[in-house]
Structure 1
């Protein structure tokens, strides 16, 4: 019996940039993303978002000056190091998962101001982490949006590269059961599925792929980060675009040279702040 009736849905993917947010933002604009203005969290972190139709990318870091307020952000490697799953009720879900024996943290509230026509409004969130020490090189967490209208704004959703959604997350895993155990207990639509290339978990419209090192090397070659400590490393994102030509044109304009890849275009991790990006229709 599931631990909860809440679905497993990917809300956003976090690309950690340490104290290099300016450089990362400039790079992602060259990759054809329209980024939101810099956000300042009450927790001390700073960010830019690339907001899509149903989910978003977050470039997350901390100010180069002053104290490092969030030790978790500088203990992870730069690159794709966070997956946030959506919840409509973080407190209830945290209790349900704790009762099912999952290693979860207490939930916490925080916010960041958003400028709406010259008026500062607080975008607020409630989050908790799952997995903690079990997850290597990053984190899994659940995010409740108290003010989704301040995140999903049409003014931020038109990207020159024509990306409309995250469609895939690729994780190289030496112990996939670590992840499947954490994410079981959700409704059957999210049950892990074994395939010839590894294990897949459906998280709303996003497919999470757990690949062995050999399978990842066979599929992506040197395009993904090479070598890591621990059980797993998040290495690539699939991005659905309205037009592959628009994506190619935007990348060319930014001076980026992708490679053809499975009926799409692949930008190597070295050119995208530590995560490979697969643009596909």
Structure 2
């Protein structure tokens, strides 16, 4: 992939009550890390770690402090997917390359957060590059992340999930005109990784995909889905699909946990937004690489 971008780094989910969200996702079979907090802000998170990517549950713990816009997002449109971070293996090279390609990246930002471990707090460090709104999402919705201290945020036991989850398989974004974004993503991720079919734009990001669709074609991706009348105006992130080791075992786990997923004709198991903090969540069988 171009610009030292290696795939998906993480997806962000904004939640009204962080502790309640942790309970929801644990019941869904995910292992949740210890809590982290953002230095100087009133926000905190729990993470769901996989081998190469992860999910971040993000909530407000002190509304008197800066929330980086999370308060506005939770007010309208409410809980649900907030954004997607792409991964870079060399943030300095990524930034130089994006500038040379005239893709208008932000400055290279340095961030830290506190991770509350039983043995004591640690400070994971990150580099961040925000992308232009030409990407079809705001700069807060799509950015590039590099972990300077990955050993602090990943432990083998955190990557083991009772539902068999292995990685983020796809994120779907509703936009007015998917085709208009094709040139930008060819320049960002390489033409070989971008496919435009019947006005659905798919960007291959390693083990996962970023998919853009307009609101008239959502039912092609999500058969049987009923769209609420109060959905926000485009663009907005509508769904996340997680690949699992054995879909049958995932279904059995969910049923035993008192959760009845909707079985979709394409084989996916669907959890409606009311059961996943505003996220349309689907589980699919992880593809075998031959």
Name the TM-score, length of structure 1 as normaliser: 0.87
Of the three residues 255, 260, 277, the one matched with 1:257 is 260
Q: Which piece of structure 1 moves more, 25-34 or 96-105?
A: 96-105
8 Å CA contact 1:170–1:209 kept in 2: the answer is yes
TM superposition outliers: structure 1 runs of 4+ over 6 Å = none
Unaligned 5+ runs, structure 1? none
Q: How does 1:55-74 map to 2 (within 5 A)?
A: 55-63=53-61, 65-74=62-71
Q: Distance in 1 between matches of 2:106 and 2:140?
A: 15
Question: Following TM superposition, by how much is the alpha carbon of 1:211 offset from its aligned partner in structure 2, in angstroms?
Answer: 1.6
8 Å CA contact 1:6–1:186 kept in 2: the answer is no
Partner in structure 2 of residue 151 of structure 1: 153
Q: Distance in 1 between matches of 2:280 and 2:131?
A: 25
8 Å CA contact 2:46–2:58 kept in 1: the answer is yes
The number of equivalent residue pairs is 277
8 Å CA contact 1:8–1:190 kept in 2: the answer is no
For residues 147 and 98 of structure 1, do their structure 2 counterparts lie closer, same or farther at Cα, with a shift above 3 Å needed?
A: same
Q: Distance in 1 between matches of 2:52 and 2:226?
A: 27
Greater relative contact order (CA < 8 Å, ≥ 6 in sequence) = 1
For residues 22 and 83 of structure 1, do their structure 2 counterparts lie closer, same or farther at Cα, with a shift above 3 Å needed?
A: same
Name the TM-score, length of structure 2 as normaliser: 0.85
Post-superposition Cα deviations, 1:13-66, rounded to whole Å, max 9, x if no partner, equal 11111x411121111111111100111122522111111121111101221x34
Q: Distance in 2 between matches of 1:178 and 1:230?
A: 17
- Compute the RMSD of aligned alpha carbons: 2.6
For residues 179 and 84 of structure 1, do their structure 2 counterparts lie closer, same or farther at Cα, with a shift above 3 Å needed?
A: farther
Post-superposition Cα deviations, 1:162-196, rounded to whole Å, max 9, x if no partner, equal 10111111112212246434433245365421224
Partner in structure 2 of residue 89 of structure 1: 90
Unaligned 5+ runs, structure 2? 286-290
Q: How does 1:1-281 map to 2 (within 5 A)?
A: 4-17=2-15, 19-44=16-41, 45-63=43-61, 65-76=62-73, 77=77, 78-114=79-115, 118-132=119-133, 135=137, 139-177=141-179, 179-186=181-188, 188=190, 191-196=193-198, 198-220=200-222, 221-222=224-225, 227-261=230-264, 262-281=266-285
Q: Distance in 1 between matches of 2:118 and 2:192?
A: 40
Q: Distance in 2 between matches of 1:137 and 1:250?
A: 37
